């Protein structure tokens, strides 16, 4: 979380990273793999891979959405690949 009331940004770059076999651990953990909760948060992904992440695992609430990346600020992606990821709302009755 970053907000200073001004115009500066907190920029985070993921360069040549692999995110694989991650999963949502349930209530108490965040339902996004990467989360930036302010408009001043800038995320850049370069040559990054997201494979076989299960953000629906352990989701027992039909109102809980899950995401790979959730941000309110700018997002830049270059040569980034997403394969076999599970996101959304689980099948909870």
The answer to whether the CB of 20 falls within 8 A of the CB of 54 is no
Buried b / exposed e across 47-70, counting CB within 10 Å, b at 16+? ebebeebbbbeebeeeebbbbbbb
- pLDDT beyond 60 at 4: no
Q: What percent of the chain has pLDDT over 90?
A: 37
pTM metric for this prediction: 0.79
- pLDDT beyond 70 at 7: no
Give the angle 18-73-66 at the CA atoms, nearest 5°: 55
- pLDDT beyond 90 at 23: no
Report the sign of the C-alpha dihedral through residues 29, 32, 34, 39, in that order: negative
Section 22-40 average pLDDT: 80
């Amino acid at each position: 979380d970053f907000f200073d009331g001004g115009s500066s940004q907190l920029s985070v770059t993921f360069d040549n990273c692999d995110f694989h076999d991650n999963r949502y651990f349930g209530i108490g953990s965040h339902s996004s793999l990467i989360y930036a909760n302010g408009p001043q948060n800038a995320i850049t992904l370069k040559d990054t891979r997201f494979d076989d992440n299960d953000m629906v695992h352990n989701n027992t609430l039909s109102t809980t959405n899950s995401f790979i990346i959730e941000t309110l600020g700018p997002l830049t992606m270059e040569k980034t690949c997403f394969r076999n990821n599970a996101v959304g709302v689980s099948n909870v009755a």
